[in-house]
Copies of this chain bind each other. A is one copy, B any other.
Amino acid sequence: MRNLAILFFSLVLCACTQAGQTAHPSLLLTSEGVKQIRAHKGKLPVFDASLDKLMQDADAAVVREICLPAPKDGGGGYSHEMHKLNYYDMYNMGIAWQLSGDEKYAQKVRDILLAYVDFYPSLDFHPLGLSGNPGRIFWQTLNESVFLVHTAVAYDCVYDFLSAEDRALIEKEFFYPYTDFIMTGLPHNRANTQMFNNLNNWATWACAGVGMIGIAMGDDSLVQKALYGSDLKGEGGFLKQMDVLFSPDGYFTEGAYYLRYAIWPFVTFAQCLDVYKPDLNIFQYRDGILLKAVDALLQMAYEGEFMHFNDALEKGYSAQELISAVDIAYNANPADKSLLSVVQDYQHKVLVSDAGFAVAKGIAAGEAEPLKLHSMWLRDGGDGSEGAFCIMRPASDKLNSAVTFKATSHGLSHGHFDKLTFAYYDAGNEIVTDYGAARFLNIEAKYNGHYTHENESWAKSSIAHNTLVVDGKNMFGGKWRESQKYHPTVLWHSFEEGLQCVAAREENAYDGVSFTRYLVYASVPFLEYPLIMDILKAESAGKHQYDYPIHYNGHMISLSVPYERALTSMSTLGNSNGYQHIWTEAKAHGSEGSTSYTWLTGYRMYTVSTATTAATELFLCRGGASDPDFNLRNEPMYIIREKNAGNHVFASCLETHGKYDLQVEQSANLVHSCKGVTVLSDDENGITVQYDFIGSHSVTLTVSPSEKATVNYN
């Protein structure tokens, strides 16, 4: 009897872990998790609220008429949104069935799956024809993969409810044709073969979908293809993606906004693999790269919103992908209690899954600890050799600021021509800005929700960034595959308290011109807020036009020199390379010495003071020209131009000052302190710049490629 029992338990254990024989559920929920969740019902507020919401959605789904419209629209359109709704419905009802035991949910999942059995096999490619990898239900294969990830969870949940006949039918007529399509395409277009074995986020979604339905169907061969590529050689597939898509610091080459999206299939499939193949130790793989990536993502945010470089839209910690990322990361590493505060302070919900349950238990036990944001040096490239993204933050929690410096590789097709650009966040606002992407996601009236044409012509252009623009051209001729071949050289960085600095050099972006940027973030004894000092040196044997733009968020307050304002008519600053999108609001010439420009953002003033001469040209501008479809935002910028220059040093400082409190009508320190910026020397020993301030104070900054910045305060 005892031996029999042991044999029995061995078999059961075996079913849970051995390839080809899956216990259900075993993707985001496990049977043990379901038991625990049911037992704790009503005891964990954040989980209860999330479950309530899921049950409401499942209840709405149960009574919804099943509708599988013929594929027609892009993102935001009816057919697109309806099929999206279908996968969310199945997902919600699958989980609702597991947690409530009410068969109506499972029954409806079955009905929808059978509807897809009738619907799917006859579909050709999607008719929209806007994607190089079109889907069948959706306009691009990417959405096809996302559908599969969600539907795999639903199928896993209702697997035991379905009859063997139903399962056979659904798998043969729907899931196998579906995975086949994702892995190869259709007979007349096999483009998906390459897509599936690629090393980018489309492929991660594809592998996650195929792997998860493989686990759910008990077909380990699909899981193997998902892990090692369709030829099983390991040159593609999920593990290779983990090897190359993240830098050793967890940076993702497309940037924070796309890391947010990329992380979703990574953590989701990893969570499933952790149950299905625990010996893979997926969360320890490559020194815990997925957990590092989640941490990097949380660090690349300001007030919970991801920093806006590359093709970024406004998203942050509350994005649905981050719910998965934070919950699953915590489940994998419950020692990181700061993840609980992200849920508590920003997300207010959890996955209705084993991982979300673990988070809710931690929060209910009062274990949340504050998320510590700190200066960070995130190397780019699979081996960390392709430049870096740098975040400098003040040591004091009282200063809510961040300075970023971008010296990364291009970032594939979502990258911008923005080498050595910087940005500044302060007091809850974006101060020196990055446009991010030109896109109205899901709004059909705006180019079907796709990136608009102005994303190429404006958002990616060099002049749309806070960096050097030579001869009014885009870096690398505006060719991203060319840019992708190179990366800046990082010289040094240091995050000492009170004096943080970083430097990098770019030698490939412009023919015949190289430039080096030194960015220093310093606590100055006689200033209220830390000072940003920027030395950007362009070097060339020839003569060029150098533009140094500052894109800012705020209202113009003053320019220290007279200017000529466009009053009753206005024209563009140029006609190509992004300049065609710039309205010239005013023109001026610099002072002999230095020129200061002040704007107001929120309750503070910001002043850029720059070493200039009378030959320096200045432009106050606003975006939004050459925009036939009103796709652009009309944002202001300040451009400093040096003409006929060979070597030139742009020496500036950005001062944060003043208090403008409208509620109590009090103001102080509204005039900037910087009275002069002088390049004292520029030779083989480096560059020395003196910044003079009222009260006979000064800061002397010396930088060179070989040694970190030194400053003297007087």
Residues of B with C-beta under 8 A to A555: 440, 630, 633
Q: Given the complex of chains A and B, what is the CA–CA distance between A667 and B81 in angstroms?
A: 8
For A572-587 the 0/1 string (1 means CB < 8 A from B) is 1001000010010110
A39 part of interface (Cβ distance < 8 Å)? no
A432 part of interface (Cβ distance < 8 Å)? no
* Copies of this subunit: 2
**Binding-face segment, A104-112, A130-138, A200-208, A620-628:** A620-628
CB distance from A588 to the nearest CB of B (A): 12
Question: Which residues from 64 to 108 on chain A have a C-beta closer than 8 Å to any C-beta of chain B?
Answer: 76, 81, 84
In the complex, what residue of chain B is closest to A320 when comparing beta carbons? B664
In the complex, are the beta carbons of B628 and A565 less than 8 A apart? yes
In the complex, what residue of chain B is closest to A661 when comparing beta carbons? B442
CB distance from A96 to the nearest CB of B (A): 18
In the complex, what residue of chain B is closest to A558 when comparing beta carbons? B445
In the complex, are the beta carbons of A660 and B445 less than 8 A apart? no
Q: Given the complex of chains A and B, what is the CA–CA distance between A315 and B664 in angstroms?
A: 10
Query: Knowing A81-B667, A445-B558, A567-B628 touch, does A634 contact B660 (C-beta < 8 A)?
Result: no
Our pick among B76, B586, B663 for the contact of A320 (Cβ within 8 Å) is B663
CB distance from A582 to the nearest CB of B (A): 10
Residues of B with C-beta under 8 A to A630: 555-556, 565, 585-586, 620
CB distance from A637 to the nearest CB of B (A): 13
Q: Given the complex of chains A and B, what is the CA–CA distance between A315 and B663 in angstroms?
A: 6
Our pick among B314, B626, B660 for the contact of A442 (Cβ within 8 Å) is B660
Q: Given the complex of chains A and B, what is the CA–CA distance between A287 and B430 in angstroms?
A: 50
Query: Knowing A81-B667, A665-B320 touch, does A446 contact B557 (C-beta < 8 A)?
Result: yes
Q: Given the complex of chains A and B, what is the CA–CA distance between A680 and B610 in angstroms?
A: 64
In the complex, are the beta carbons of B557 and A445 less than 8 A apart? yes
Query: Knowing A565-B627, A634-B622 touch, does A442 contact B665 (C-beta < 8 A)?
Result: yes
Residues of B with C-beta under 8 A to A660: 442-443
A189 part of interface (Cβ distance < 8 Å)? no
A427 part of interface (Cβ distance < 8 Å)? no
A163 part of interface (Cβ distance < 8 Å)? no
Chain A residue total in the interface (Cβ 8 A): 53
Most buried by B among A313, A443, A569, A571: A443
CB distance from A635 to the nearest CB of B (A): 10
A184 part of interface (Cβ distance < 8 Å)? no
Q: Given the complex of chains A and B, what is the CA–CA distance between A84 and B557 in angstroms?
A: 23
Q: Given the complex of chains A and B, what is the CA–CA distance between A555 and B438 in angstroms?
A: 13
Q: Given the complex of chains A and B, what is the CA–CA distance between A568 and B570 in angstroms?
A: 8
CB distance from A147 to the nearest CB of B (A): 13
Residues of B with C-beta under 8 A to A558: 445
For A424-466 the 0/1 string (1 means CB < 8 A from B) is 0000000000000000111111100000000000000000000
In the complex, are the beta carbons of B445 and A315 less than 8 A apart? no
Our pick among B315, B442, B625, B667 for the contact of A567 (Cβ within 8 Å) is B625
CB distance from A393 to the nearest CB of B (A): 25
A344 part of interface (Cβ distance < 8 Å)? no
For A596-638 the 0/1 string (1 means CB < 8 A from B) is 0010100000000000000000001010011110100110000
In the complex, are the beta carbons of B567 and A318 less than 8 A apart? no
Query: Knowing A555-B630, A598-B445, A600-B443 touch, does A319 contact B663 (C-beta < 8 A)?
Result: yes
Question: Which residues from 305 to 329 on chain A have a C-beta closer than 8 Å to any C-beta of chain B?
Answer: 313-315, 318-320
In the complex, are the beta carbons of B569 and A570 less than 8 A apart? yes
For A524-564 the 0/1 string (1 means CB < 8 A from B) is 00000000000000000000000000000001111000000
Q: Given the complex of chains A and B, what is the CA–CA distance between A570 and B444 in angstroms?
A: 28
Q: Given the complex of chains A and B, what is the CA–CA distance between A412 and B300 in angstroms?
A: 52
A662 part of interface (Cβ distance < 8 Å)? yes
A712 part of interface (Cβ distance < 8 Å)? no
CB distance from A201 to the nearest CB of B (A): 15
In the complex, what residue of chain B is closest to A580 when comparing beta carbons? B568
A706 part of interface (Cβ distance < 8 Å)? no
CB distance from A356 to the nearest CB of B (A): 16
Our pick among B557, B569, B570 for the contact of A443 (Cβ within 8 Å) is B557
Residues of B with C-beta under 8 A to A567: 625-628
Query: Knowing A568-B575, A568-B625 touch, does A441 contact B634 (C-beta < 8 A)?
Result: no
A162 part of interface (Cβ distance < 8 Å)? no
Residues of B with C-beta under 8 A to A620: 630
Query: Knowing A569-B569, A634-B622 touch, does A445 contact B670 (C-beta < 8 A)?
Result: yes
Our pick among B84, B313, B670 for the contact of A662 (Cβ within 8 Å) is B313
In the complex, are the beta carbons of A444 and B556 less than 8 A apart? no
In the complex, are the beta carbons of B565 and A572 less than 8 A apart? no
A5 part of interface (Cβ distance < 8 Å)? no
In the complex, what residue of chain B is closest to A628 when comparing beta carbons? B565
Q: Given the complex of chains A and B, what is the CA–CA distance between A704 and B387 in angstroms?
A: 71
In the complex, what residue of chain B is closest to A449 when comparing beta carbons? B667
Q: Given the complex of chains A and B, what is the CA–CA distance between A166 and B304 in angstroms?
A: 58
A666 part of interface (Cβ distance < 8 Å)? yes
Our pick among B81, B580, B634, B665 for the contact of A634 (Cβ within 8 Å) is B634
Q: Given the complex of chains A and B, what is the CA–CA distance between A219 and B444 in angstroms?
A: 73
Q: Given the complex of chains A and B, what is the CA–CA distance between A583 and B666 in angstroms?
A: 34
Our pick among B76, B319, B572, B622 for the contact of A667 (Cβ within 8 Å) is B76
In the complex, are the beta carbons of B318 and A443 less than 8 A apart? no
A668 part of interface (Cβ distance < 8 Å)? yes
Q: Given the complex of chains A and B, what is the CA–CA distance between A556 and B443 in angstroms?
A: 12
CB distance from A287 to the nearest CB of B (A): 31
In the A-B complex, the 4 residue pairs with the smallest Cβ-Cβ separation, listed nearest first, are A556-B630, A442-B667, A445-B558, A569-B571
Task: Return 5 A-B CB contacts under 8 Å, by A number.
Answer: A76-B667, A320-B663, A320-B665, A443-B660, A444-B670
Q: Which residues on A are within 8 Å of B, measured CB to CB? A: 76, 81, 84, 313-315, 318-320, 440-446, 555-558, 565, 567-572, 575, 580, 583, 585-586, 598, 600, 620, 622, 625-628, 630, 633-634, 660, 662-668, 670-671
Q: Supply 18 further A-B pairs (C-beta < 8 A) apart from A320-B663, A570-B570.
A: A84-B666, A315-B662, A318-B663, A319-B664, A441-B662, A442-B662, A443-B667, A446-B557, A555-B633, A568-B572, A568-B625, A568-B626, A569-B569, A569-B570, A569-B571, A570-B625, A585-B630, A620-B630
